[in-house]
Amino acid sequence: MDFLRKLKPSSREGSLALILLVAVGGTGLINPRFLTGDGTRDLFTSTSVVALLAIGIAPIVIMRHIDLSISSTVGLTAWVVADFCAKNPDFTWVQCFIIGPVIGIAVGILNGLLVAGLRLPSLVVTLGTLYIVRGLVYVVSNSVDYNAQEMPPSLLDLGQKVFFGLLPLTFLLVI
């Protein structure tokens, strides 16, 4: 019994580290591919978009606010970028890449003005923005979907390039 007491982590971080080790070990036993280099790369690739969004929303959370509209903003941004790139196949990946942040910044400025300028609760503002942006996607998209074959080759190549053994989004996270 004394041995078990020594294993008990003394801090919150120690508990989290132990839980993480058990989760990784258990997942590795169930799926041995998880512990390989390909499995690690797949894990980094699939979580990199969420991690980039988390980095962007961290200052908002640190200031004790919340942004519920981030997922709808990502959806609007993705559809508008796909629409512009599909309708302009001669666009370079740089032109396609510039469109996205402009939309995200515009929605962020709107939220910021309403929360900071009018002193409205961020929960209410961003919940409203979530539905407004989601409705805008439905109206603007008119149920049109785009697939990879409709995107410019330079944009598709960007998603396939590997830098220093990491995928581009993962590379951005490292920076």
**Cβ proximity of 157 and 93 under 8 Å:** yes
**pLDDT tens across 55-114, in order?**
989 999 999 999 999 999 999 999 999 898 888 878 887 888 889 999 999 999 999 999
Residue 5 banded pLDDT, cuts 50, 70, 90: low
Tokens 């200052």 belong to which residue? 59
Closest CA to 91 of 147, 146, 150, 152: 152
Nearest partner of 65 among 115, 133, 17, judged by Cα: 115
Is residue 116 within 8 A of residue 64, CB to CB? The reply is no
User: pLDDT by residue (tens digit) across 141-172?
Assistant: 988 888 888 887 777 776 667 767 666 666 67
